């Protein structure tokens, strides 16, 4: 049976296993490509263009993609994560480049900061691991000053490739699926095709979020927001297809052009929320 973690077990897994494996994971290795995508570039520009310079990244990880760029852009960067290993890696990267980063070990759902102390706060690739969305969104808004912005992305349950991706991984994590998919991968490899994941993933540890669920959390927080959808209806990194499955690149209009479409944006693989605190 696939093991889909929830509650305390999910929290424990994220703390002790997921975070520390992030550095060596296939996901991370593929990231240089991933982070050049439109939704990440737009997110970065939004943060660079925001007023003030004190920014907080929740779930900063190695900090190499967003936080480092923001430091290069003159921002004063703070970060929290619950992995010691990743925080140490992040600290080393910043000092190598001659930047200061202020880091702390904390849960994004319970931030150790006073109210209204940051000009902006953001979380990228982190919401899927939140058990309590209201708390995660609410905490970022709490620590951000009035007029400041909060930015985060989510993986959309309504997008076909995310949905298939999720169940593929759940199947792969099952005893039955592992044998079959391992065989398929060896076959793909023998044909010289890319196989993204070499090791059996032991657990499925992320949540797909539906737009209404996220909208509820955002509206409950009670501020003005903008939601943008990316990769609308197009396949995105289905492990079964490897990189060949990312057709978005060939259809730039669907990748980005529909990000503001009132209805279609909610069928994007990624939704990015930009909230201005009232
Ligand atoms: C997919 S990585 C993204 C890292 C980074 N934001 C980036 O874009 O490169 C997710 C990160 O979130 C962290 N994380 C997950 N749940 C968390 C929580 N509840 N509190 C703090 N950090 C968390 C993990 O340790 C990991 O560093």
Residue 27 has pLDDT above 60, yes or no: no
Task: Give yes or no for residue 86 CB within 6 A of ligand 1.
Answer: yes
Calculate mean pLDDT across residues 232-254: 64
Calculate mean pLDDT across residues 164-179: 68
Give the least confident one: 33-42, 62-71, 93-102, 128-137. Answer: 33-42
Q: Which pLDDT score, from 0 to 100, does residue 274 have?
A: 97
Would you place residue 11 in the very low, low, confident or very high pLDDT band (cuts 50, 70, 90)? confident
Proportion of the chain above pLDDT 70, given as a percent:
71
> For the segment 188-229, what is each residue's pLDDT rounded down to a tens digit?
666 655 555 445 445 566 778 999 999 999 998 888 999 999
Task: Give yes or no for residue 47 CB within 6 A of ligand 1.
Answer: no
Q: Which atom number of ligand 1 is nearest to the Cα of residue 108?
A: 20
Would you place residue 272 in the very low, low, confident or very high pLDDT band (cuts 50, 70, 90)? very high
The CA-to-CA distance between both ends of the chain, in Å, stands at 46
Residue 126 has pLDDT above 50, yes or no: yes
15 CA from centroid of ligand 1 (Å) = 10
Calculate mean pLDDT across residues 256-274: 91
Give the least confident one: 55-59, 82-86, 186-190, 259-263. Answer: 186-190
C-alpha distance from residue 266 to each of 35, 166, 233, 234 (Å): 21, 18, 9, 13
Q: Which pLDDT score, from 0 to 100, does residue 1 have?
A: 36
Task: Give yes or no for residue 107 CB within 6 A of ligand 1.
Answer: yes
Q: Are 70 and 92 in contact (CB under 8 A)?
A: no
Task: Give yes or no for residue 79 CB within 6 A of ligand 1.
Answer: no
pLDDT greater at residue 17 or residue 151: 151
Calculate mean pLDDT across residues 24-49: 75
Residue 34 has pLDDT above 90, yes or no: no
Task: Give yes or no for residue 22 CB within 6 A of ligand 1.
Answer: yes
Name the CATH superfamily housing domain 7-156+206-234+248-276. Answer: Vaccinia Virus protein VP39 (3.40.50.150)
Task: Give yes or no for residue 69 CB within 6 A of ligand 1.
Answer: no
102 CA from centroid of ligand 1 (Å) = 16
How far is it, in rounded angstroms, from Cα 139 to Cα 88?
Answer: 24
| Ligand 1, atom 23, residue with closest C-alpha | 59
DSSP state of 62: T
Task: Give yes or no for residue 129 CB within 6 A of ligand 1.
Answer: yes
72 CA from centroid of ligand 1 (Å) = 21
Q: Which pLDDT score, from 0 to 100, does residue 269 have?
A: 87
Residue 60 has pLDDT above 50, yes or no: yes
Which residue among 80, 129, 143, 154 is best mutated to probe the pocket of ligand 1, counting the most ligand atoms within 8 A of its Cβ? 129
Residue 108 has pLDDT above 70, yes or no: yes
- Name the 3-class secondary structure at 198: coil
Which residue among 34, 61, 106 is best mutated to probe the pocket of ligand 1, counting the most ligand atoms within 8 A of its Cβ? 61
Q: Are 81 and 87 in contact (CB under 8 A)?
A: yes
What ranges do the domains of the chain cover? 7-156+206-234+248-276
Proportion of the chain above pLDDT 90, given as a percent:
47
Task: Give yes or no for residue 124 CB within 6 A of ligand 1.
Answer: yes
Task: Give yes or no for residue 61 CB within 6 A of ligand 1.
Answer: yes
Q: How many residues does the chain have?
A: 278
pLDDT greater at residue 159 or residue 162: 159
Q: Which pLDDT score, from 0 to 100, does residue 197 have?
A: 47
Q: Which pLDDT score, from 0 to 100, does residue 57 have?
A: 98
* Residues near 248 by beta carbon (within 8 Å), at least 6 away in sequence: 37, 231, 234, 235, 236, 254, 255
Calculate mean pLDDT across residues 82-98: 91
Task: Give yes or no for residue 19 CB within 6 A of ligand 1.
Answer: yes
Would you place residue 85 in the very low, low, confident or very high pLDDT band (cuts 50, 70, 90)? confident
Calculate mean pLDDT across residues 152-172: 81
């Amino acid at each position: 049976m696939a093991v889909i973690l929830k509650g305390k077990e999910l929290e424990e897994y994220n703390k002790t296993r997921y975070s520390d494996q992030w550095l060596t994971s296939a996901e991370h290795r593929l990231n240089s490509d991933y982070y050049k995508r439109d939704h990440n570039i737009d997110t970065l520009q939004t943060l660079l263009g925001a007023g003030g310079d004190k920014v907080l990244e929740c779930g900063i990880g190695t900090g190499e993609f967003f936080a480092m760029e923001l430091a290069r852009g003159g921002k004063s960067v703070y970060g929290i994560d619950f992995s010691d290993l990743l925080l140490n890696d992040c600290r080393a990267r910043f000092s190598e480049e001659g930047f200061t980063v202020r880091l702390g070990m904390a849960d994004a759902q319970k931030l150790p900061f006073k109210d209204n102390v940051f000009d902006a706060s953001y979380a990228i690739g982190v919401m899927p691991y939140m058990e309590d969305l209201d708390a995660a969104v609410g905490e970022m808004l709490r620590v951000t000053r009035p007029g400041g912005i909060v930015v985060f992305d989510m993986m959309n349950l309504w997008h076909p490739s995310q949905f298939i991706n999720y169940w593929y991984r759940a199947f792969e994590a099952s005893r039955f699926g592992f044998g079959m998919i391992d065989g398929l991968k060896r076959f793909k490899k023998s044909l010289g095709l890319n196989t993204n994941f070499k090791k059996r993933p032991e657990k499925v540890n992320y949540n797909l979020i539906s737009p209404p669920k996220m909208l509820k959390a955002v509206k409950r927080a009670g501020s003005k927001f903008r939601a943008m959808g990316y990769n609308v209806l197009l396949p995105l990194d289905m492990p079964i297809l490897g990189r060949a499955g990312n057709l978005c690149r060939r259809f730039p209009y669907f990748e980005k052009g529909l990000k503001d479409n009132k209805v279609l944006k909610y069928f994007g693989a990624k939704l990015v929320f930009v909230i201005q605190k009232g």
